[in-house]
């Protein structure tokens, strides 16, 4: 308690901050500097103005975007209207073309029906010929003058000419030489072994003679192991000489000939 009483009796400046503030305001007023309260109010007013401007800017941007969207919608609507008009034109053109085609088809059908009628008339026309003949036959004088069937003398003359022509054709055919069918045959005549006399064998083969047989060139062809075969050509008339008969005649020479084969057969 004694300490507190001592402090209470001392002279202490408790309101110094208030006096400092009053002094600062005084000098600011003398020098023309605005007070801090006024600055604060000014700053608050500018902030409020800026805040008021921001919504306005937002509203203007929203309005601008809305106007752009509306312009796009208008342009799209215009393009759709143009497309619709073009489609209507195309449909109208197609309808006109279809109508033209239908008219043409109708014209073609009308033109074909008279043609069919004319065809039937032309087919029926030959049926009317006997009527015309009957009308012409009404006159007895014309029937007496015209001979429809001809006379018997003309028939006899035609038959005689026909017989003469047939005889002439038969004579010409008889004078022509008849074609003789011939064939060219290549024979392979094989001996028994390599000791067989091939010259004697060929002599025996060529000794076969008959009507319609003509022997040709010949040669020796090696077979193997020193054995050679006789290859001989001949021309025969098919009606007179057969291959079986020719083979039978050649194989009669048993001492020299082992077998006879036909290597080639060609018609001439």
pLDDT score for 177? 67
3-state SS of the chain is CHHHHHHHHCCCCCCHHHHHHHHHHHHHHHHCCCCHHHHHHHHHHHHHHHHHHHHHHHHHHHHHHHHHHHHHHHHHHHHHHHHHHHHHHHHHHHHHHHHHHHHHHHHHHHHHHHHHHHHHHHHHHHHHHHHHHHHHCCCHHHHHHCCCCCCHHHHHHHHHHHHHHHHHHHHHHHHCCCCCCEEEEEEEEECCCCCCCHHHHHHHHHCCCCCCEEEEEEEEEEEECCEEEEEEEEEEECCCCCHHHHHHHHCCCCCCCCEEEEEEEEEC
Cβ pair 236, 246 in contact under 8 A: yes
Give CA 264 to chain center in angstroms: 50
Contacts of residue 143, Cβ cutoff 8 Å, sequence gap at least 6 = 137
pLDDT score for 148? 52
Distance CA 26, CA 31 (A): 9
Cβ pair 228, 146 in contact under 8 A: no
pLDDT score for 39? 46
**Torsions phi, psi for 5 (to 5 deg):** -65, -35
pLDDT score for 94? 92
Residue 215 backbone class (left: φ over 0; alpha: ψ -120 to 50; beta: rest): beta
pLDDT score for 221? 93
Residue ranges of the chain with pLDDT lower than 70?
Answer: 1-14, 32-64, 113-153, 176-178
pLDDT score for 239? 87
């Amino acid at each position: 308690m004694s300490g507190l009483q001592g402090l209470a009796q001392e002279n202490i400046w408790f309101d110094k901050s208030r006096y400092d503030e009053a002094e600062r305001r005084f000098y600011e007023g003398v020098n023309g500097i605005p007070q801090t309260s006024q600055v604060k109010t000014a700053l608050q007013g500018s902030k409020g103005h800026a805040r008021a401007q921001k919504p306005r800017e937002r509203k203007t941007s929203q309005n601008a975007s809305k106007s752009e969207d509306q312009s796009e919608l208008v342009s799209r609507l215009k393009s759709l209207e143009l497309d619709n008009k073009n489609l209507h034109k195309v449909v109208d053109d197609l309808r006109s073309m279809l109508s033209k085609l239908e008219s043409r088809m109708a014209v073609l059908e009308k033109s074909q029906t008279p043609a069919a009628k004319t065809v039937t008339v032309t087919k029926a026309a030959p049926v009317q010929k006997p009527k015309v003949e009957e009308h012409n036959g009404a006159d007895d004088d014309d029937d007496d003058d015209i001979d429809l069937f001809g006379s018997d003398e003309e028939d006899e003359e035609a038959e005689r000419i026909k017989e003469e022509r047939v005889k002439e054709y038969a004579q010409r055919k008889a004078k022509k030489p008849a074609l003789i069918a011939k064939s060219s045959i290549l024979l392979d005549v094989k001996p028994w072994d390599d000791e067989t006399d091939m010259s004697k064998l060929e002599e025996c083969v060529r000794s076969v003679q008959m009507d319609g047989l003509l022997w040709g060139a010949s040669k020796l062809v090696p077979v193997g192991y020193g054995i050679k075969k006789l290859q001989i050509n001949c021309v025969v008339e098919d009606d007179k000489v057969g291959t079986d008969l020719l083979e039978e005649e050649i194989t009669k020479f048993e001492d020299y000939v082992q077998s006879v084969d036909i290597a080639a057969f060609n018609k001439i």
